[in-house]
Each structure stands twice: as structure tokens, then as C-alpha cells.
Amino acid sequence: MLTIYDYNDNIIERKEEHSMKGLQLVGFEEQHLHFVFDYINALKIILSINNRTQHLRGFVALVVINWPGQLFIKKALCIQTLNSSQEINSFLPMLGPLHVSLNSREQVMLIHHSFFEKLFYFVFGKNKKLAKKSRSWRINLLLELAKCGLLKIKNRVIKKFGKVYKDIEYQTAIDLFDNLIPAVIDIYATLFRSGLFEEYVKTIFRIWTFALRWKRKNYNKASLVFLSDLFYWKDNDHPFFNALQKHLSCFNNYYVENTYSKIRVNTLPNAIVDNIIKQAYVITVIDIYATLFRSGLFEEYVKTIFRIWTFALRWKRKNYNKASLVFLSDLFYWKDNDHPFFNALQKHLSCFNNYYVENTYSKIRVNTLPNAIVDNIIKQAYVIIILGEEVDLRHLPTGYNTSYPSIQELCNRCKLLFVNEDSIIFICGHGYHTNCYDKKRAEILTQEDFDDNENNIKEEEEQFKKVEIQKISNRVEIKIHQIENW
């Protein structure tokens, strides 16, 4: 969304308050949410955890939610009070600023659709069509264009018509540009996220007056209920009023909406309920996992791996329940035996990453066709690090284009390291120890060698695995040698 990314100083100062870091999914169940008892059942998910943790003892849990949710939870509170039950008295429903913003923007677009349609055609051409219920990003784009356009010509317009011109058409346009659009754009993106409490409350009041004009039967009540609660807390010196003043941007439904969006993106439209629930848990845990790993938070990372293992057990994922368990088993073994690798993991967790390999694979996949042959795929795998570019074999020395390509840091004949200066590297890229090259030069090809060439292919294939093992061993020696010379 365009206006969500507003980098003014107040928002940057409160960046941590908007972070998804540490967010955990408590529960995810199918609910119709059409009646009071549907909401009571949803709240019982949290209450079942509270029975063990007692997090709500002496505290209030704020439920930032849309108008039906507020209404039914308030009814539930009333029902529970009449029944002398204190189960859900710790929950306090409150207006969700994101809902207010999105719904009011959509309503401005619907009411003034004829204007925005002309603006849309002017910018994008008449071949495009603007739906009455457009997507959020398109609504934001048109609102932003209208707002920025007015800023450029506002002084000229006022100079032309004067400050007391009362023509109804002119006043309607001024109301749209100077009242409606700034209010619906700024209510969440700037005022709420910046924690500007007084300005936020005034804008909520303005949007309530818009809802009255538009005869929106829910939102003319939702805003009024929020204002009523707010003034009640203020008049009675309730501590929650001070909490709202100081930490407004924390009382946000962005976290829930963001999680919903991730789940919708990562599930198919025809997915069954069980699969959606599983995917919700996986997405949340993976987010936590990625954050913890990149931050190097070792203890929390291990706990999350353990949680992923319990999920794999429940879902009977035979590979993943073993993979996590093997990692935990190795980890505890290293810890119990004071292995130095355990300390290395603790201090440098984020270094033990397969990102580099996966990133290379991704680049190769993007730059090769699905039906590409192996040789063509391999050609894409060469990267010139200094230039930051991927190249094919045409850019490399001739030795890499032969059936016996050059082997980095190894003699092309004996496949051993260059341990001293008694070696030679040719312009084609091949390199030899001096003795190896002298022996190679002494070799004379005969007709028998050409005749036996086909027979040698099978022998070469058999030797290939041995050579690969030798290469790996040699590379390990190189790295050890480098470490010794640090």
C-alpha cells in the first residue's frame, strides 16, 4: 500500500512498536463468527492457555477488531456478567484503525467514483477499466494522485475563485480534496503509526461525520462507540487513557491482518480447513525461525526447532521429524561433551547458513528454461564476483571449454596441490607441476590410443568418483593450510 510506507521521523522512532518480531500464533481454528457464542468460543482458545500461564491475572487483553467483533464481544461481556461468570471479563474490544482506514478509503472511491474514473482514464488511458470496488493498491494510488495534484494547483484555485466562493460544485470538490482524501489517507498511515494521539482522535471524529453522511450503519456506530469509551476513560482518570496517549501505535490490528495476508498468499483457494491450519502454524514458526536465526538468538532458535519437530510429529512428516531430532541430538551431544563446535554455534549461529547455495540455485533456475539440457544449465553457473555478473563458458579461458576442464588450485595431471613454485599455469587455464608437464609432453599418442578411446570412457567414469573425493580432500587441505597461516 502506497501510504503505509511513510518514513517521517515519528514513524521511524516507533519502528520497533510496529515490528512483527516475536509474534506468536496462539491458536488457529475454523469459526463462522456470526453469533455471540462463536466469539466466546474463539476467546476460549486464549483462556485455555491463560489457565496454565495466568497471563491475564490482574491485566486486560485488548481485542482490536472490526465492528461486528466489537459488538458481539460486548454482548458476550454482558451475558457473562448476567451469568455471574468472570471468564472473559479480561477482554476489551476496541476499534481497529486499519479497518477504519481501508473502509473509509473504499467508501470515498464509491461515493466519488465518477471523478476517480475520469482521473484514472486521464492517467492510464480509456482502454483500462476502473471497477467500482477496486483493489486497495489502486484506490491508494488514485487517492494519492488526487492529493498530490491538488497541492500543485491549490494556490491557483483559491486565487481564481477566492476563499468565499459558495458554489455547490466547487464546495463539493474542495470537500473531497481538502477534507475527505487527507483524512482517509492520514488516519492510519501517518497519524496512528506516528502516535499522534490528539490528531488521531480528531480525525476519527471527522470520519464518524463522513459515515453519518454516507449512511454507513456500522461505521457510524463503531467510531462513536470508540469516542464514547475514550471520553469515559478520560473523565474517570482511567489508566487506560494514559496508556493510549503514550503508546497509541501499539493498539493495532496490523499484526493479525498481516498474518491473514501471509496465510492467504500461501494457501490455495480450494484448500481444506486442516491444511490451512497447518500452513498457518508453519508460516508463523518459519517467520520466527528466520528472524531468530538471522539475529543469532541461539536459545530461542533451538526452542523453535523443537516446536517445529513437535509439529512434524503431529503431522506425521516422517522426514522432517527425523531431521529436527537429529539436529537436536547432535546439539545436546556437543553441549554435554563441551565440544568447541557448540560454542561456535552459540556465538556465530547466523554464519551456518545455506543461503549462499540456495541463492545461487535460484539465480540458475531463473536464468534457465525448464527444458534446458544439463550442459546449458552448467553454463549459467559461472559468476565473476568482481563484476557481480553471471557468465557462460564463452567468457572463460579455453581450458574450461575442453572435455578436461581446468581444476582450480590442483595440477591437471596428478590432481594434487601446487605446494611450491615449481609449477606452471598456461594461458588456457590448465596448470601442471613441472615434472607432471614434462611427463605429459613425453607422451606420444598412437593409433592404438585413438582405438582404445571408447574403452577408456567407462574406466574414466569409474575413476570419476575417486577423483571427486580426492578434489574434496585437497580443498580441505587448502582451507586447513590457510587457517594455519592466519
pLDDT recorded at residue 179: 86
pLDDT recorded at residue 203: 92
- Reported as a pLDDT band with limits 50, 70 and 90, residue 449 is low
Say yes or no to pLDDT of 215 above 70: yes
Over residues 364-391, the mean pLDDT reads: 61
Flag the least confident range among 84-98, 228-242, 380-394.
380-394
Is residue 45 assigned to a domain? no
pLDDT recorded at residue 321: 67
Residue 226 and residue 299 in one domain: no
Is residue 52 assigned to a domain? no
Is residue 129 assigned to a domain? yes
Query: Cα 360 from chain centroid?
Result: 20
Residue 245 and residue 282 in one domain: no
pLDDT recorded at residue 48: 78
- Reported as a pLDDT band with limits 50, 70 and 90, residue 95 is confident
pLDDT recorded at residue 378: 56
Residue 103 and residue 246 in one domain: yes
pLDDT recorded at residue 447: 56
pLDDT recorded at residue 471: 53
Q: Establish how many alpha carbons lie within 13 A of residue 292's alpha carbon, considering only the half-sphere containing its beta carbon.
A: 19
Per residue in 170-187, pLDDT tens? Answer: 788 888 888 889 899 988
Q: For the chain, what percent of residues have pLDDT higher than 90?
A: 2
Say yes or no to pLDDT of 34 above 70: yes
Is residue 258 assigned to a domain? no
Among residues 325, 351, 377, the one where a domain terminates is: 351
Over residues 372-399, the mean pLDDT reads: 62
Query: What is the SS3 string spanning the chain?
Result: CHHHCCCCHHHHHCHHHHCCCCCCCCCCCCCCCCCHHHHHHHHHHHHHHHHHHCCCCCCCEEEEECHHHHHHHHHHHHHHHHCCCCCCCCEEEEECHHHHHHHHHHHHHHHCHHHHHHHHHHHHCCCCCCCCCCCHHHHHHHHHHHHHHHHHHHHHHHHHHCCCCCCHHHHHHHHHHHHHHHHHHHHHHHHHHHCCHHHHHHHHHHHHHHHHHHCCCCHHHHHHHHHHHHHHHHHCCCHHHHHHHHCHHHCCCHHHHHHHHHHHHCCCCCCCHHHHHHHHHHHHHHHHHHHHHHHCCHHHHHHHHHHHHHHHHHCCCHHHHHHHHHHHHHHHHHHHCCCHHHHHHHHCHHHCCCHHHHHHHHHHHHCCCCCCCHHHHHHCCEEECCCCEEECHHHCCHHHHCCCCCCCCECCCCCCECCCCCEEECCCCCEEEHHHHHHHHHCCCCHHHHHCHHHHHHHHHHHHHHHHHHHHHHHHHHHHHHHHCC
pLDDT recorded at residue 368: 66
pLDDT recorded at residue 4: 42
pLDDT, averaged across the chain? 75
pLDDT recorded at residue 479: 54
Domain enclosing residue 460, as ranges: 410-486
Residue 111 and residue 229 in one domain: yes
Residue 225 and residue 341 in one domain: no
Say yes or no to pLDDT of 228 above 80: yes
Among residues 304, 330, 351, the one where a domain terminates is: 351
What global pTM score does this model have? Answer: 0.57
pLDDT recorded at residue 344: 83
pLDDT recorded at residue 486: 47
Q: For the chain, what percent of residues have pLDDT higher than 70?
A: 68
C-alpha grid cell, residue 58: 490482574
Give Cβ neighbours of residue 369 (< 8 Å, ≥ 6 apart): 376
Say yes or no to pLDDT of 457 above 60: no
Say yes or no to pLDDT of 476 above 50: yes
Amino acid at site 298: F
Is residue 292 assigned to a domain? yes
Say yes or no to pLDDT of 212 above 80: yes
pLDDT recorded at residue 202: 92
Residue 296 and residue 192 in one domain: no
- Reported as a pLDDT band with limits 50, 70 and 90, residue 473 is low
Q: Establish how many alpha carbons lie within 13 A of residue 293's alpha carbon, considering only the half-sphere containing its beta carbon.
A: 13
CA–CA gap between residue 359 and residue 422 (Å, rounded): 38
pLDDT recorded at residue 1: 38
pLDDT recorded at residue 458: 54
Flag the least confident range among 211-220, 337-346, 466-475.
466-475
Over residues 198-224, the mean pLDDT reads: 86
Residue 456 and residue 336 in one domain: no
pLDDT recorded at residue 191: 85
Flag the least confident range among 91-95, 253-257, 399-403.
399-403
pLDDT recorded at residue 453: 52
Residue 108 and residue 237 in one domain: yes
- Name the more confident of 129 and 429: 129
Flag the least confident range among 61-65, 118-122, 177-181, 275-279.
275-279
Would you tell me how many other CB atoms lie within 10 Å of the CB of residue 444?
6
Q: Are 267 and 283 in contact (CB under 8 A)?
A: no
Is residue 382 assigned to a domain? no
C-alpha grid cell, residue 340: 568447541
Q: Establish how many alpha carbons lie within 13 A of residue 359's alpha carbon, considering only the half-sphere containing its beta carbon.
A: 6
Over residues 50-78, the mean pLDDT reads: 80
Is residue 133 assigned to a domain? yes
Among residues 351, 368, 391, the one where a domain terminates is: 351
Per residue in 133-159, pLDDT tens? Answer: 888 888 889 998 888 888 888 888 888
- Name the more confident of 296 and 439: 439
Residue 229 and residue 319 in one domain: no
Residue 297 and residue 223 in one domain: no
Residue 236 and residue 163 in one domain: yes
Backbone angles phi, psi at 480, to 5 degrees: -65, -40
Per residue in 389-421, pLDDT tens? Answer: 666 656 667 676 676 777 777 888 887 887 766
Over residues 321-341, the mean pLDDT reads: 83
When divided into structural domains, the chain yields a total of 3
Residue 216 and residue 282 in one domain: no
Say yes or no to pLDDT of 305 above 80: no
Over residues 363-367, the mean pLDDT reads: 66
Is residue 41 assigned to a domain? no
